Amino acid sequence: MAEMNLVQTRVDAIRRLVRRKATQPLTRALTKSSAADIAEALAHLTRNECLFLAKHLPDTIAGETLLTCNEETMRVLIDGVAFERLTRWLDEMEPDDQADLIERLPDELQRRLLERMLPTDRQNVEELMAYPQDSAGGIMSPVAFRLNDATTCREAISALQEQGDVEMVFYLYVENDAGQLVGVTSLRQLLMNSPSTALAEIMTSDVIAVSAETDQEEVARIAQRYSFLAIPVVDDTRKLLGIVTVDDVLDVVREEAAEDMLKMAGVPEDSSNDTDGALTAARKRLTWLLVTLVGGVGLSEVIGLFEETLAREAVLAGFIPLVMGLGGNVGIQAATLTVRGLAVGGVAYDRASSARLLFKEGQVGLVMGLALAVLLAGYCLVRYPNWELAAAVGLSIVLAVLTSAVLGTLIPMSLDKVGVDPAVATGPFVTTSIDWIAIVVYFVVCTRLFGF
């Protein structure tokens, strides 16, 4: 909480300095601020205020700030800042960040910026842009500290001191004479071993690497599993293409979390309150609502099949929202946990592991169902002194919660198995499906077992 207050204080300070046109204090504040803080401040400023801030923004951080901004603020800056200044901003960025920024710009501006870059820099950026955005190649940096395996520790340290274009040196990657990645070592190993020791003697030859086509989520899982600060990206011949650093991994985790939250709510990934008009936003979000509408109409027809039961015991109607609500909540809980397990690699696909997971969720559902059933049955006995009603409602809750827990686990696992993103399973799809199951279980129990 204290850190959040500090961030907000910085953002508010930047906004106040901009509105007061306090040039010198603003320049000092921007120099000491992070790109994320500046981008947040920009989001709350008018167009003229944004351009005033940009006028005093240091080139060294301006490009990263532009990359961090939302779409609306970015449009304001690229329309209001001179082209020559944009090129200086771009020159201060790392190749992977340059590629990310250029991809977000209009096509004509992309072409002009690429034409102004040095041939080597342009080649690096264009190669990065050729990879899918959600792949290891799309987020990697082509700049990595690499040396031949015959290099000594003394030579490696000297080379590191002379290296000026490496963004983050977490590891030293070792190549053979053919340029293939054969090992990796840490900077600590360079200092702890004799200066005359060759890298081949101290390197770890079992290098965990990914291909350029590897999905960024898989890269993030590997980094998390092995606590890596960087992961090498290689081609089919084991030649080092670049590295994915920990800051990129954190960006992936944040992006994927936001994407899954949207999918869980049935909202398209490209929806935005900042850029979408009312009609566009409504159209994008309407699809899943139509699915829910169709499911709800079908559910009303199902309830209509039990009109006779409701006519004989009208009090049963009062428990319909409760049964549906409990079943839906339990199902979403189970589905969310399963999606999270799939995302972090905690759910295995072999038959035994899947059966264990389903059995465990069934146990959890049974325990929760029994606890809820006892409470609800007790309420029925106090409010409506009717043992048959209490038993019917209690048993229905047990079966509905048990079924919801199992289905909430089974649906995302099944979708993931057939190649469908399981995050969509935690949205209206699971809710509507489980509402159907819960209400059918409720009325079948009440009708068949107790003669209502």
Task: Find out whether 365 and 402 touch, Cβ atoms under 8 Å.
Answer: yes
* Torsion-angle region of 197 (φ positive above 0: left; ψ -120 to 50: alpha; else: beta): beta
User: Which tokens belong to 12?
Assistant: 């508010």
> Residues 88-107: what's their mean pLDDT?
90
Distance in angstroms (rounded) separating the CA atoms of residues 391 and 397: 10
pLDDT above 80 for 231: yes
User: Which tokens belong to 69?
Assistant: 């901004």
Instruction: Give the DSSP letter of residue 426.
Output: G
Task: Find out whether 233 and 136 touch, Cβ atoms under 8 Å.
Answer: yes
C-alpha pair distances (Å), 144 with each of 69, 94, 134, 223, 224: 27, 12, 20, 17, 20
Distance in angstroms (rounded) separating the CA atoms of residues 403 and 129: 47
pLDDT above 90 for 183: yes
Q: What are phi and psi of 364, to 5 degrees?
A: -60, -45
pLDDT above 80 for 292: no
pLDDT above 90 for 348: no
Distance in angstroms (rounded) separating the CA atoms of residues 118 and 129: 16
Q: What residues contact residue 144 under an 8 Å CB cut-off, 6+ apart?
A: 166, 173, 230, 232, 240, 242, 243
Predicted confidence band of residue 134 (pLDDT cuts 50, 70, 90): confident
Distance in angstroms (rounded) separating the CA atoms of residues 116 and 124: 14
Instruction: Give the pLDDT score at 1.
Output: 45
Instruction: Give the pLDDT score at 331.
Output: 84
pLDDT above 50 for 303: yes
Q: What are phi and psi of 218, to 5 degrees?
A: -65, -40
Q: Which residue has the higher pLDDT, 162 or 429?
A: 162
C-alpha pair distances (Å), 312 with each of 305, 323, 433, 451: 14, 19, 27, 10
Report all structural domains of the chain as residue ranges with CATH numbers, in order of start.
2-130 (1.25.60.10), 146-247 (3.10.580.10), 278-449 (1.10.357.20)
pLDDT above 80 for 361: yes
> Residues 306-324: what's their mean pLDDT?
79
User: Which tokens belong to 32?
Assistant: 């000491």
Predicted confidence band of residue 94 (pLDDT cuts 50, 70, 90): confident
> Residues 44-68: what's their mean pLDDT?
92
Is this prediction's pTM over 0.85? no
Calculate the dihedral angle through the C-alpha atoms of 91, 95, 100, 106, rounding to the nearest 10 degrees: 50
> Residues 397-413: what's their mean pLDDT?
87
Predicted confidence band of residue 57 (pLDDT cuts 50, 70, 90): very high
Q: Of the given ranges (111-125, 142-156, 242-256, 365-379), which has the lowest mean pLDDT?
A: 242-256
Quick one: which of 37, 115, 107 has its CA closest to 78? 107
User: Three-state DSSP class for 395?
Assistant: helix
Instruction: Give the pLDDT score at 173.
Output: 94
Distance in angstroms (rounded) separating the CA atoms of residues 362 and 368: 10
Distance in angstroms (rounded) separating the CA atoms of residues 294 and 273: 27
Amino acid at residue number 324: M
**pLDDT single digits (tens) 321-333:** 888 888 888 888 8
- The helix (H) or strand (E) run that includes residue 240 is strand 240-245
Instruction: Give the pLDDT score at 281.
Output: 65
pLDDT above 50 for 2: no
Find tokens 């015959």 and name the residue: 150
pLDDT exceeding 70 applies to what percent of the chain?
A: 86
> Residues 50-72: what's their mean pLDDT?
91
Instruction: Give the pLDDT score at 89.
Output: 93
Instruction: Give the pLDDT score at 38.
Output: 93
Instruction: Give the pLDDT score at 272.
Output: 53
For the chain, what is the largest distance between any 2 Cα atoms, rounded to a whole number of angstroms?
A: 93
Query: What does pLDDT average to over the chain?
Result: 83
Q: What residues contact residue 19 under an 8 Å CB cut-off, 6+ apart?
A: 49
Amino acid at residue number 309: T
Q: Of the given ranges (85-94, 175-184, 238-247, 412-421), which has the lowest mean pLDDT?
A: 412-421
pLDDT exceeding 90 applies to what percent of the chain?
A: 33
pLDDT above 60 for 264: no
Distance in angstroms (rounded) separating the CA atoms of residues 256 and 18: 34
Find tokens 């006028």 and name the residue: 55
User: Three-state DSSP class for 276?
Assistant: coil
Find tokens 């003669």 and name the residue: 451
Instruction: Give the pLDDT score at 124.
Output: 87
pLDDT above 90 for 371: yes
Find tokens 């409701």 and name the residue: 310
Q: Of the given ranges (106-120, 216-230, 260-274), which has the lowest mean pLDDT?
A: 260-274
Distance in angstroms (rounded) separating the CA atoms of residues 72 and 43: 8
Mean pLDDT is highest, among 239-243, 321-325, 355-359, for 239-243
Distance in angstroms (rounded) separating the CA atoms of residues 13 and 20: 11
Instruction: Give the pLDDT score at 271.
Output: 54
Distance in angstroms (rounded) separating the CA atoms of residues 11 and 8: 5
Predicted confidence band of residue 347 (pLDDT cuts 50, 70, 90): low
